[in-house]
Amino acid sequence: MRLTTKGRYAVTAMLDLAFHSQKAPVTLTDIATRQTISLSYLEQLFARLRRAGMVKGVRGPGGGYTLANTANSINIADIIIAVDEQLDATKCGGEGNCQNHKACLTHDLWMGLSEQIRDYLKGITLADLLEKHQIQEIARRQEQDAQHVIEFQLQTGISAYPK
């Protein structure tokens, strides 16, 4: 199994959203700035997360995104699956047709690993991560860094947002 940037960025963006949307909706531009993720890539991820019912959009001035459910009810595995990432270490996608349309010698080994990974990530919610002191410190630092980016843009007129 290889977790691609799609899954990693989705988890990162959802954790950022969970941290910052406690007071007001959060724009994708703000997440893009804090996490140095392309805005267009975030738009694609959030379209999938919205379809999966994990986030909801708020229109109008002061709009953005919020979590559709509590941070306690959103686990990491569901975020990854919502953006079409597979939590599967097998070569066959769990179908058991790895070798000449039959299970290979190590099929059960990789199926067991896949189940362990899935169970581990299902057991961690956004709320669990938000409780970690280190994550809170990092989120605050990223917020300060993003504020410096905005100040730089205002002073220079140069956009520093990720493309």
pLDDT digits (tens, 9 = 90+) for 21-78: 988 999 999 999 999 999 999 999 999 999 999 999 999 888 999 999 999 999 999 9
Q: Exposed, middle or buried: residue 46 (CB in 10 Å: 0-12, 13-18, 19+)?
A: buried
- The residue assigned the tokens 């709320």 is 127
* Local structure of residue 163 (DSSP, 8 states): -
Q: Exposed, middle or buried: residue 122 (CB in 10 Å: 0-12, 13-18, 19+)?
A: middle
Cβ(32)–Cβ(38) under 8 Å? yes
Digit-coded pLDDT (tens) for 65-87: 999 999 999 999 999 999 988 88
Note the pTM of the prediction, 2 decimals.
0.84
